[in-house]
């Protein structure tokens, strides 16, 4: 089984693309040989254990509307039950668990997960709240062993431990390895691609690309590159 494949979402931008004459040959090829997005994902899950989704911007609505359609799809659910989140620090997993364990929909349970981000200002992503509500609603209709599991994989954040500028500087220094942290966390949850367990990783471009090099030929190491190289 091959390990992973990155997918760049361009859903919703078809009109703008079609208006560019230079891109017309590519549009024509997609119209002739392309497949419906969900069918494309299902096909790739037959070959790969992990799909990295690049939404470009976490506030972009179209990718998250697609994610919600994917979550509701029965065929997708049979193939992949683990959803990895880049935007949530791994030590905020209890907030995600509490939200999905609640019998009553309560988005306030998610607040710590999005307040305790590495920026210190919080992530105001309605797109993610809508997505997670779709996962919660879908899980309510399923027996426990068939439900989605949502896993936070980014580097841990400990704002209670940060009191001085020096503390903050050390914390920011620790973030230099967060792409490797995410790579290892995902790899661990998928049993190093040995068990056949499958999942998707929701992220954006700076974590999803693979093997981009600078002018000196040195690789910019990010999560997608770690998966590609190792």
Give CA–CA dist 144/162, Å, rounded.
Answer: 38
pLDDT at 19: 56
For residue 15, pLDDT beyond 70: no
Angle at 52 between CA 116 and CA 76, to 5 degrees: 105
Burial letters 32-43, b for 16+ CB under 10 A, else e: eeeeeeeeebbe
Strand partners, 152: 85
Q: Does the domain made of 2-229 have the CATH classification 3.40.50?
A: yes
Average pLDDT, the chain: 89
Query: Would you state the pLDDT for residue 212?
Result: 79
Contacts of 218 (CB under 8 A, 6+ apart): none
Predicted pLDDT at 8:
56
Burial class (CB within 10 angstroms; exposed 0-12, middle 13-18, buried 19+) of 18: middle
- The band of 206, judged by pLDDT with boundaries at 50, 70 and 90, is confident
Measured CA to CA, the distance from residue 90 to residue 93 in angstroms comes to: 6
Residue 204's closest CA among 95, 37, 90, 60?
60
* pLDDT grade for 9, boundaries at 50, 70 and 90: low
What's the CA gap between 158 and 168, in Å, rounded?
A: 10
Taking only the tens place, the pLDDT of each residue in 177-203 is 899 999 999 999 999 999 999 999 999
pLDDT at 73 over 80: yes
Model confidence pLDDT, tens digit, residues 86-136: 999 999 999 999 999 999 999 999 999 999 887 777 788 999 999 999 999
pTM of the model: 0.87
Strand segments, DSSP code E, in the chain are: 2-8, 48-54, 82-89, 149-154, 199-203
Q: How far apart are CA 29 and CA 6, in angstroms?
A: 20
Compute the distance between CA of residue 128 and CA of residue 204 in angstroms, rounded to an integer.
13
Does the structure show a pLDDT above 80 at 1? no
CA distance 117 to 159: 9
**Region for residue 192 given its phi and psi (left: phi exceeds 0; alpha: psi -120 to 50; beta: otherwise):** left
Proportion of the chain above pLDDT 70, given as a percent: 92
Rounded mean pLDDT of 143-147?
Answer: 95
**Among the listed residues 8, 45, 3, the one whose alpha carbon sits nearest the alpha carbon of residue 203:** 8
Domain extent listing, the chain: 2-229
Q: How confident is the model at residue 140 (pLDDT cuts 50, 70, 90)?
A: very high
pLDDT of residue 2: 58
Per-residue CA distances from 228 to 2, 103, 113, 205, 222 (Å): 11, 40, 29, 15, 10
3 state DSSP class of 81: coil
> So what's the pLDDT on residue 13?
47
């Amino acid at each position: 089984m091959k390990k992973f494949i990155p997918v760049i979402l361009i859903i919703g931008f078809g009109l703008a693309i079609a208006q560019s004459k230079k891109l017309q040959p590519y549009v024509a090829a997609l119209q002739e040989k392309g497949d419906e997005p969900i069918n494309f994902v299902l096909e790739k899950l037959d070959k790969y254990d992990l799909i990295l989704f690049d939404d470009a911007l976490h506030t972009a609505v179209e990718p998250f509307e697609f994610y919600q359609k994917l979550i509701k799809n029965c065929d997708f659910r049979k193939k992949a039950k683990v959803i990895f989140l880049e935007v949530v620090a791994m030590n905020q997993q209890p907030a995600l668990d509490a939200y999905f364990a609640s019998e009553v929909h309560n988005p306030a349970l998610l607040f710590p997960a999005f307040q305790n981000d590495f920026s210190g200002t919080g992530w105001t992503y309605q797109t993610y709240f809508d997505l997670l509500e779709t996962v919660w609603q879908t899980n309510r209709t399923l027996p426990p062993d068939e439900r989605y599991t949502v896993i936070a994989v980014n580097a841990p954040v400990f704002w209670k431990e940060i009191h001085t500028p020096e503390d903050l500087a050390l914390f920011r220094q620790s973030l230099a390895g967060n792409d490797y942290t995410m790579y290892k966390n995902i790899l661990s949850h998928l049993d190093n691609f040995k068990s056949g367990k499958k999942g998707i990783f929701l992220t954006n471009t700076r974590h999803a690309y693979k093997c981009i090099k600078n002018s000196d030929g040195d690789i910019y190491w990010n999560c997608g590159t770690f998966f590609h190289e190792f």
